[in-house]
Chains A and B, each alone.
Chain A
């Protein structure tokens, strides 16, 4: 993530825009801001952005409907929809129409940061589809769907395997509960209870029992997968 990465914010609420800008700048990226849909689409087409943070109910129209125009204009930016239309149906609609992520308002800054990081990372490392994901003495074999710690097999359920794979793909970054629910369980609503914690807790104990404290709690935000990588 370098300073050369540009992010476009299309948002008509000044305070929200400022909050997003603060997060983006904290990540070390440069920011452009438009407050109408037309200006946003024009900017998205003329400048190669890495990520576009797009509101839905904008002066000039719906951001979701504008995605097709942005794509047609040749933009390869990853699009994060940030919208007050936050029900599951809205989120699924946005994702189905081509958004790369969908964050409902109101959002917590931590959540936005985690999502932006995930998108920036997705843009930079494409070739991760090797059969073997190795983090020091923790090894994940994709085809065999197995997890080994220090050469010892760790028995995981199919869901736990998907969970650890998602963690591995976002290694070193905070992953929020909401992201896990969306990406591992494909559920786009807040169940109210922290069901995800129980699953992460189980997986975490299994890894710890095998000698790998790979999953840690990021206070207030979610979890971070940070296995010790032996360099050399």
Chain B
């Protein structure tokens, strides 16, 4: 991604530089072309001037002699032709009048000079018909101009290609260098996002903006890590500090005699409070550990699912529910057996709790691509509309369910544990009741 942006920038710069130099070269080309054309025109003017002077003295005779003389010493860069009124050649470098070129006017002025092609060469020509019907052609080859311009064009094209190539190479090199350095930081961010909070870049920081970025990222990570440690310590301390007084209460409660019903009620209430407390700690720990592979080992998800199902099945049957499980065997994931069991226990317990006799509770475990999909569904009352969006938040309970025992942490714990395992929660639309799918990342069989 970073490389693409850098590459785009480098390409843009190379293109801009190339366009600018192209503009400069085109300008230069035009100047050279004009100057050379002017030079040829000057030569033509000089020729015409000479012939005009001769013609002034002795008319056609002098002109014929001069052209004869010039034709004998022709270098190929000039074209001369003088004819009589019948079209016979009096003198010149040609044997006939070139086609497609008509005499125009009768003076020796260079104005009105035309370009034409003859023998594969461009010529700048002045064609006249002198008084008495003598066609005169005086032309200069534009070959030197064209040769020079061709060389110039080739040069420009070569330079253009070279500049594009240089720009591309420069862009690729700088992109590669930037990508390398940004990539280091990106890799670090990825590792941290996956939970490896203590990941750092090795080596010394360079004294440039990249080094500064790395230093900033490092100090940010240090801060996050410290906060994370403090949170862990705090929850452990809370666990300790609150449990000790609860423990004393429980001990004293056991000394009360003769009020069995009341003390056992109180004990149940305390157990409930401790459960809530454990769930909260479990949620925050699972959230803190989210993405870290630490503590996760290969677990037979199918086996755990069946074990928890078997634990709850009699309870469902006793309540008059229809309990059905379809568990594909041998599905393995990287996980924590107790956490997975807790998730499933929460879901099945909820299903049984909210359903009434005649309802159906199902557990499905199947493979979908690289995921093991665990689906717990029931035909009970389902989630009320008013809490659908926030059912996975802590302490969210529906007004409707106030009478049913619970603390609103079950689904929050399910979500935290799923996230801890890199699993995705999907709440499929159902006609009735509640259904939840957990898509666990499957462990591919390696042995």
A residues contacting B by CB (< 8 A) are 13, 15-16, 19, 57, 84-89, 92, 104-110, 157, 159, 185-193, 195, 198-199, 202, 219-220
Cα separation A62 to B282 with both chains bound (whole Å):
20
Name the distance in Å between A83's Cβ and chain B's nearest Cβ: 8
Whether the pair B338, A185 counts as a contact (CB closer than 8 A) is: no
Known contacts A87-B281, A87-B285, A105-B244: A190-B271 contact under CB 8 Å: yes
Known contacts A16-B244, A88-B338, A92-B338: A199-B272 contact under CB 8 Å: no
Q: How many residues of B contact A (CB 8 A)?
A: 44
**Total inter-chain residue pairs, C-beta < 8 Å:** 107
Whether the pair B312, A13 counts as a contact (CB closer than 8 A) is: no
Whether the pair A108, B275 counts as a contact (CB closer than 8 A) is: no
Known contacts A189-B338, A220-B260: A15-B285 contact under CB 8 Å: no
Whether the pair B311, A195 counts as a contact (CB closer than 8 A) is: yes
Cα separation A144 to B264 with both chains bound (whole Å):
41
- Specify which of A106, A109, A193 is in contact with B315 (CB 8 Å cutoff): A193
Report A-chain residues with C-beta under 8 Å of the C-beta of B443. Answer: none
Name the distance in Å between A200's Cβ and chain B's nearest Cβ: 10
Whether the pair B336, A108 counts as a contact (CB closer than 8 A) is: no
In the A-B complex, list the 3 residue pairs whose CB atoms are closest, starting with the nearest.
Answer: A106-B247, A84-B243, A88-B338
- Specify which of B267, B281, B311, B342 is in contact with A199 (CB 8 Å cutoff): B311
Report A-chain residues with C-beta under 8 Å of the C-beta of B336. Answer: 89
B residues contacting A by CB (< 8 A) are 236, 239-240, 243-244, 246-251, 254, 260, 264, 267, 270-272, 274-275, 278, 281-282, 285, 295, 307-308, 310-312, 314-315, 318, 336-339, 341-342, 345, 349, 352-353, 405
Whether the pair A198, B318 counts as a contact (CB closer than 8 A) is: yes
Whether the pair B338, A16 counts as a contact (CB closer than 8 A) is: no
Report A-chain residues with C-beta under 8 Å of the C-beta of B244. Answer: 13, 16, 84, 105
Whether the pair A16, B247 counts as a contact (CB closer than 8 A) is: yes
Nearest A residue to B243 via CB reads A84
Report A-chain residues with C-beta under 8 Å of the C-beta of B249. Answer: 106
Cα separation A202 to B314 with both chains bound (whole Å):
9
Whether the pair B243, A105 counts as a contact (CB closer than 8 A) is: yes
Cα separation A185 to B310 with both chains bound (whole Å):
10
Cα separation A80 to B13 with both chains bound (whole Å):
73
Whether the pair B275, A185 counts as a contact (CB closer than 8 A) is: no
Known contacts A89-B285, A198-B318: A193-B251 contact under CB 8 Å: no
Nearest A residue to B338 via CB reads A88
Cα separation A190 to B275 with both chains bound (whole Å):
7
Kindly name the residue among B243, B248, B271 whose own CB sees the greatest number of chain A CB atoms within 10 A: B243
Known: A106-B247, A187-B338, A192-B272. 20 other contacts (CB 8 A): A15-B251, A16-B244, A16-B247, A85-B239, A85-B240, A87-B281, A87-B285, A89-B285, A104-B243, A105-B246, A105-B247, A106-B249, A108-B250, A108-B254, A110-B254, A185-B311, A189-B342, A198-B318, A199-B314, A220-B260
Name the distance in Å between B245's Cβ and chain A's nearest Cβ: 9
- Specify which of B264, B270, B311 is in contact with A220 (CB 8 Å cutoff): B264
Cα separation A196 to B257 with both chains bound (whole Å):
27
Whether the pair A86, B243 counts as a contact (CB closer than 8 A) is: yes
Whether the pair B339, A88 counts as a contact (CB closer than 8 A) is: yes
29 residue pairs bridging A and B, Cβ less than 8 Å apart = A15-B247, A16-B248, A19-B251, A84-B239, A84-B240, A84-B244, A84-B247, A86-B243, A86-B274, A86-B278, A87-B239, A87-B278, A88-B339, A105-B244, A106-B250, A107-B247, A186-B307, A187-B345, A189-B345, A190-B274, A191-B311, A191-B345, A192-B349, A192-B405, A193-B353, A198-B314, A199-B311, A199-B314, A219-B260
Report B-chain residues with C-beta under 8 Å of the C-beta of A86. Answer: 239, 243, 274, 278
Report A-chain residues with C-beta under 8 Å of the C-beta of B345. Answer: 187, 189, 191
Name the distance in Å between B241's Cβ and chain A's nearest Cβ: 8
- Specify which of A87, A159, A219 is in contact with B282 (CB 8 Å cutoff): A87
Report A-chain residues with C-beta under 8 Å of the C-beta of B312. Answer: 195
Cα separation A157 to B314 with both chains bound (whole Å):
12
Known contacts A86-B278, A159-B310, A185-B307: A106-B270 contact under CB 8 Å: yes
Name the distance in Å between B300's Cβ and chain A's nearest Cβ: 13
Kindly name the residue among B271, B338, B405 whose own CB sees the greatest number of chain A CB atoms within 10 A: B338
Report A-chain residues with C-beta under 8 Å of the C-beta of B267. Answer: 108
Report B-chain residues with C-beta under 8 Å of the C-beta of A198. Answer: 314-315, 318
Name the distance in Å between A204's Cβ and chain B's nearest Cβ: 12
Cα separation A86 to B341 with both chains bound (whole Å):
17
Name the distance in Å between A90's Cβ and chain B's nearest Cβ: 9
Report B-chain residues with C-beta under 8 Å of the C-beta of A104. Answer: 243
Report B-chain residues with C-beta under 8 Å of the C-beta of A191. Answer: 311, 345, 349
Nearest A residue to B274 via CB reads A106
Report A-chain residues with C-beta under 8 Å of the C-beta of B246. Answer: 105-106
Name the distance in Å between A95's Cβ and chain B's nearest Cβ: 11
Nearest B residue to A13 via CB reads B244
Report B-chain residues with C-beta under 8 Å of the C-beta of A110. Answer: 254
Nearest A residue to B282 via CB reads A87
Report B-chain residues with C-beta under 8 Å of the C-beta of A88. Answer: 278, 282, 338-339, 342
Report A-chain residues with C-beta under 8 Å of the C-beta of B282. Answer: 87-89
